[in-house]
Amino acid sequence: MKITAKGQVTVPQEIRERFGLLPDTEVEFAVTGGRVYLRKAAGKARRGAALVARMRGRGTRRLSTDEIMALTRAE
C-alpha cells in the first residue's frame, strides 16, 4: 500500500467493516514507540446521538402515542 502525493491511503474494506469506519467517521493518529496507529476518535458523538440531542426539547406540546401514530399515518 502506498501513500498518495496528497498523503492519502485507502483503508481496506475488510478493516473498515470490521471496525465500523464509515464515511465521515472521525479518526485520529497515535504515535507510540516509533509506530503510528489509526483509531476512531474518542469522545465524538455519533451522528444519531447528535441528531437526537439537537432535537431534544423541541416539542411544543405533549402527544399520546395514539396521536403521534395518527399524525405519522396521516389519519
pLDDT band at 3 (very low <50, low <70, confident <90, very high): very high
- What does the pLDDT look like over 30-57, one tens digit per residue? 999 999 999 888 765 667 777 787 778 7
| Region of residue 74 (phi > 0: left; psi between -120 and 50: alpha; otherwise: beta) | left
Q: So what's the pLDDT on residue 52?
A: 81
User: In the predicted model, what is the mean pLDDT of the chain?
Assistant: 86
Residue count (the chain): 75
Q: How far apart are CA 75 and CA 71, in angstroms?
A: 6
The pTM is what? 0.50
pLDDT band at 10 (very low <50, low <70, confident <90, very high): very high
